[in-house]
Amino acid sequence: MINVKLEYAPEAIETGSPEFFKATLYYKDTNEIALHADTDIVISKDGKELYKESSEYSKPYVRTPNGIVLSSYKFPDSGQYVISVKVLGLNFMPVKPKQVSFATNVTYSNDKYLIQIAN
């Protein structure tokens, strides 16, 4: 059905600065971008939800016409986080929700946070 590619920049951020994310959604069988996707990005730590993209807009999801979701988040401290990308609809139709989660390690070094996201 859908694959999710998660990219981020920069790999090292100043403490208190945001990390930027780009999630690209594409169909597994054709590698074509999944247009008109209803999505959400959720960041959690120790099972507690810290950030939800759709909450920024007071909506149940974020619609992306081009299959690309852009987001940012300021990590409050070092530790193990999970970044989840949820797909709730495609081409204006609801689908069985799919979630892809990425283990994320944030470490503190020289007044910066170093970000590592597993594929």
β-sheet bridge partners, residue 117 = 104
β-sheet bridge partners, residue 32 = none
For the stretch 31-44, pLDDT in tens is 999 999 999 999 99
State the first-to-last Cα distance of the chain, in angstroms, to the nearest integer: 18
Structure tokens at 85: 């990308």
For the stretch 3-26, pLDDT in tens is 999 999 888 888 888 999 999 999
β-sheet bridge partners, residue 49 = 44
Per the structure, the complete domain to which residue 40 belongs is given by 2-117
CA pair distance 118, 25, nearest whole angstrom:
17
Overall domain count for the chain: 1
CATH number, position 15: 2.60.40.1930
β-sheet bridge partners, residue 89 = 38, 94
Q: Which residue has the tokens 């283990």?
A: 103
pTM to 2 decimal places = 0.90
